[in-house]
Chains A and B, each alone.
Chain A
Amino acid sequence: MRNYLAAECYKVFHRKYLYLTLLVVLVLEGLLVWGCWFTSSNGNAGMDFHSAIITLVMLMSIGLYATILTGDMVFSEQHKHNTLKNEVAYGLPRGRIYLGKLAVATLVAVLAALVMLGFYVLGCWALLPHNESDQLALNAVGYALAGSLPLWLGGQGVVLACYFLVRSSTMAAFLAVGLLGVVPPILQLCGILIHPVFETVRQYMPAVMLENLSANAFQWDYVGLCWIVGMAVLVGATVVGLLAFRKKEIR
């Protein structure tokens, strides 16, 4: 497994995809920080470190969809390039292939998240005025991360299952977006039109839990629930993906 993980890391870190994606996101973050600094330095007293960081906390749900990119970086359109055959033909167990890619996708996602968060927080710290609510802002980031991380991992599990099981990467990405982002509003509609149980189920969808994270600020029970749901989604998606991949025709 160690060799497999090392090889996947070699592949990801030897292509421009990761670096270009990070560059684009960091440029956008830079623009956001610059905008905050610009309004602050032009007399907007409400714009300080605390308010810029709270904006970040509200953007955490984007991370769920960013897993589509990290999944793509690691899976690397293997169906399109037919490279999976090189792995199975050598006798690598399919379980190792699946779990190895999941582990590296998770690693890349966490690393990228840390770089993006670090860049934004440090940028705000350096450019924006500080006050006594700084500590509260940093606590909010910690809280949001603690709740978001398991939900992102669940999302990563769903995304990777889609990439493994759907031959077209574009279709796989659409399916992932559908499962993560479109199912909740459908459940909401079903909750209104058919039965309230659908609304209850919707409340446990990762996207909805991420949205509700800021409304449940510093409620650690809610963070615990995020971990239970995130891990359940991760394990569930991985089991389904593994079972289907085990007998999948490799071209």
Chain B
Amino acid sequence: MTDTVLATKGLTKRYGNHLAADRVELTVGKGQIYGLVGRNGAGKTTIIRMVSAQTVPTAGEIFLFGATGKELSRMRARTGVMVETPSFYPYLTARQNLEYYRIQRGVPGKGTVDQVLEEVDLADTGKKTFKNFSLGMKQRLGLALALMNRPDFLLLDEPINGLDPEGIVEFRNLLLKLNRERQTTILISSHILPELANLATCYGFIDNGVMLEQISAQALEEKCRACIEARVDDPSAAALVLEQRLNIRDYEVLPGNLLRLYQELDRPQAVAKALVEGGVGLLSIESRGANLEDYFLSMIGGVRHA
């Protein structure tokens, strides 16, 4: 388990009758940027809150850097956490707030605070107190706190909420830089999927507290690649027709009499014609190219309407 930064086994959190997390098995490998994907209330924040000791699990185990039980506290000092809205003392300035936590955590060097404020572009806030910060500035300060102890593992819950487009790009570049230069492992939860798609090297899809799937970005890309999807009455006959008439070799036969073809993408009409002429009953045919959003929606059974 040395290359595993975070692992959960049967992690469960129950609030009364509501299961916020249901036997979640999650594994984050060293150096990964793990995108935790789920809609609001799916259980993303609950999982991060359990990992960061803000709430006690009802059942299950958490392993951080291979340690569990009482050793977890020590390992949490190797993490940087930003959960929900960043929270600081409203009457202190950015520098005073960070200095307070620097002293509390025993982070050496008074220059650390200035350095980390510089990193998140908050070095010029002067005497402005936290209560007068914009939401974007608060997010940056939250990130500054998470980075202050140069963590090996960053847990970020919806970190780009409130950032302007420029801030989002800067934030993304900063995370990529940390991951590349310091080998910082990152778990980032978000429901803004296009943004996650720009970062993540691995995904975990969660819905109703249940971990539906964990998949690498590469495998997901494979799954989401452009294709022609044809639903037929006899998949074996259809496969034979496609191989013989169109020389198609790159295809998949999926449950539900579904064929997914990765060749002849610009000629769906030729595919349809070949199938019909080959005596195959063609029920439907369409060109597809799924993205992360489509994939997630297909996984949870489409958009839910209230």
Task: Point out residues on A near B: beta carbons under 8 Å.
Answer: 3-4, 6-8, 10-11, 14-16, 76, 81-83, 85-93, 247, 249-251
B54 touching A251 by the CB < 8 A rule? yes
- Can you give 21 A-B contacts (C-beta < 8 A)? A3-B103, A3-B106, A6-B104, A7-B100, A11-B89, A11-B92, A85-B54, A86-B101, A87-B104, A88-B52, A88-B53, A89-B52, A89-B79, A89-B83, A90-B76, A90-B149, A91-B72, A91-B73, A92-B73, A92-B104, A249-B55
A30 to B96, CA, bound (A): 33
Residues of A within 8 Å of B100, CB to CB, are 7, 10-11, 14
Query: Is the CB of B194 closer than 8 A to any CB of chain A?
Result: no
> Chain A's nearest CB lies how many Å from the CB of B107?
9
> Chain B's nearest CB lies how many Å from the CB of A99?
14
Query: Is the CB of B223 closer than 8 A to any CB of chain A?
Result: no
Residues of B within 8 Å of A92, CB to CB, are 73, 104
Given contacts A83-B87, A91-B74, 19 further A-B contacts (CB under 8 A): A3-B106, A4-B104, A14-B96, A15-B91, A15-B92, A76-B89, A81-B89, A82-B84, A82-B87, A85-B52, A85-B54, A85-B81, A86-B145, A87-B104, A88-B54, A89-B54, A90-B105, A91-B53, A91-B75
Which residues of chain B (236-261) have a CB below 8 Å from chain A?
none
A247 touching B75 by the CB < 8 A rule? no
Query: Is the CB of B88 closer than 8 A to any CB of chain A?
Result: yes
- A9 (CB) vs chain B CBs: closest residue: B103
- A15 (CB) vs chain B CBs: closest residue: B91
B54 touching A249 by the CB < 8 A rule? yes
Residues of B within 8 Å of A86, CB to CB, are 81, 87-88, 101, 145
Residues of B within 8 Å of A14, CB to CB, are 92, 96, 100
Also in contact, A89 and B101, with CB within 8 A (given A3-B106, A81-B89, A82-B85): no
Query: Is the CB of B264 closer than 8 A to any CB of chain A?
Result: no
Task: Point out residues on B near A: beta carbons under 8 Å.
Answer: 52-56, 72-77, 79, 81, 83-85, 87-92, 96, 99-101, 103-106, 145, 149
A4 to B101, CA, bound (A): 9
> Chain A's nearest CB lies how many Å from the CB of B209?
17
A247 to B57, CA, bound (A): 10
Task: In the A-B complex, list the 6 residue pairs whose CB atoms are closest, starting with the nearest.
Answer: A91-B76, A7-B104, A82-B87, A89-B52, A89-B81, A7-B103
- B72 (CB) vs chain A CBs: closest residue: A91
Residues of B within 8 Å of A93, CB to CB, are 73
Also in contact, A10 and B53, with CB within 8 A (given A82-B87, A91-B76): no
- B15 (CB) vs chain A CBs: closest residue: A249
